[in-house]
Amino acid sequence: MRASMPIERTLILCKPDAVSRGLVGEIITRIERRGYVIAAMKLLQLAGDAARDHYAEHRGKPFFDDLVNFITSGPIVAVAAEGEGAIEGCRQLMGATNPLAAAPGSIRADFAQTIGRNLIHGSDGATSAERELKLFFDDRDFVSRRHDLERWMRE
Ligand code: UDP
Ligand code: MG
């Protein structure tokens, strides 16, 4: 039996640039191929208040208003991704916030040019994952993927 990490859930957002550029499938494919499973998913457009809540930690920073304007500018896809170490693993798949600093092979390095249009959000820790998932999903939105996770962990 291999060593295992805790099963975690993390919030992924395919931002408006990802949706308008038709990159939602590419992003979700990379998450699934890593072995994380989709536990909940929806297409929506955020209102300003919801966007300001989601990005509350950045309130007052110089880029805050642009960020809120952008994230509310069009449809986004919210995904709850689940798996062993999924929070840090999805951060790896995303790459660094600035695409120019992102590791080659990461989503932001492969598909994005600028920090303001970096395609994807992913929770940065257990506390933020729990808080952010609640902003997008109710308990009823989640479907159990226990069997898929167990099969993955046996292989
Ligand atoms: N952002 C920006 N300019 C900055 C820093 C951040 O436009 O100087 C945007 C960027 O889209 C980023 C988001 O604000 O994804 C949230 O910033 P954070 O530091 O949380 O980066 P992330 O967790 O998305 O990598
Ligand atoms: Mg962040």
Q: What is the pLDDT of residues 38-51, one digit of tens each?
A: 999 999 999 999 99
Rounded Cα gap, residues 6 and 129, in angstroms: 14
Residues less than 5 Å from ion ligand 2, measured at CB? 124
Cβ–ligand 1 distance for 97 under 6 Å, the answer yes
Cβ–ligand 1 distance for 54 under 6 Å, the answer no
Annotated catalytic residue 121: yes
Q: For position 1, what pLDDT does the model report?
A: 52
Instruction: Give the sheet arrangement for strand 37-44, strand by strand.
Output: 37-44, 76-84, 7-14, 120-122
| pLDDT tens digits for range 52-103 | 999 999 999 999 999 999 999 999 999 999 999 999 999 999 999 999 999 9
Rounded Cα gap, residues 37 and 34, in angstroms: 9
Please give, one letter per residue, the 3-state secondary structure of the chain.
Answer: CCCCCCEEEEEEEECHHHHHCCCHHHHHHHHHHCCCEEEEEEEECCCHHHHHHHCHHHCCCCCHHHHHHHHCCCCEEEEEEEEECHHHHHHHHHCCCCHHHCCCCCHHHHHCCCHHHCCEEECCCHHHHHHHHHHHCCHHHCCCCHHHHHHHHHC
Question: Mean pLDDT for the chain?
Answer: 96
Residue minimizing CA distance to atom 9 of ligand 1? 116
Give the residue-averaged pLDDT of 3-21: 94
2 pLDDT band, cuts 50/70/90, is low
Question: Which of the ligands is closest to the CA of residue 97?
Answer: 1
Full-prediction pTM beyond 0.95? yes
Q: For position 3, what pLDDT does the model report?
A: 66
Distance between Cα 11 and ligand 2 center (Å): 11
Q: For position 27, what pLDDT does the model report?
A: 99
Query: Residue 153 pLDDT > 70, yes or no?
Result: yes
Closest C-alpha to 33, from 79, 83, 76, 78: 83
Q: For position 43, what pLDDT does the model report?
A: 98
37 pLDDT band, cuts 50/70/90, is very high
4 pLDDT band, cuts 50/70/90, is confident
Which tokens go with 83?
Answer: 């798996």
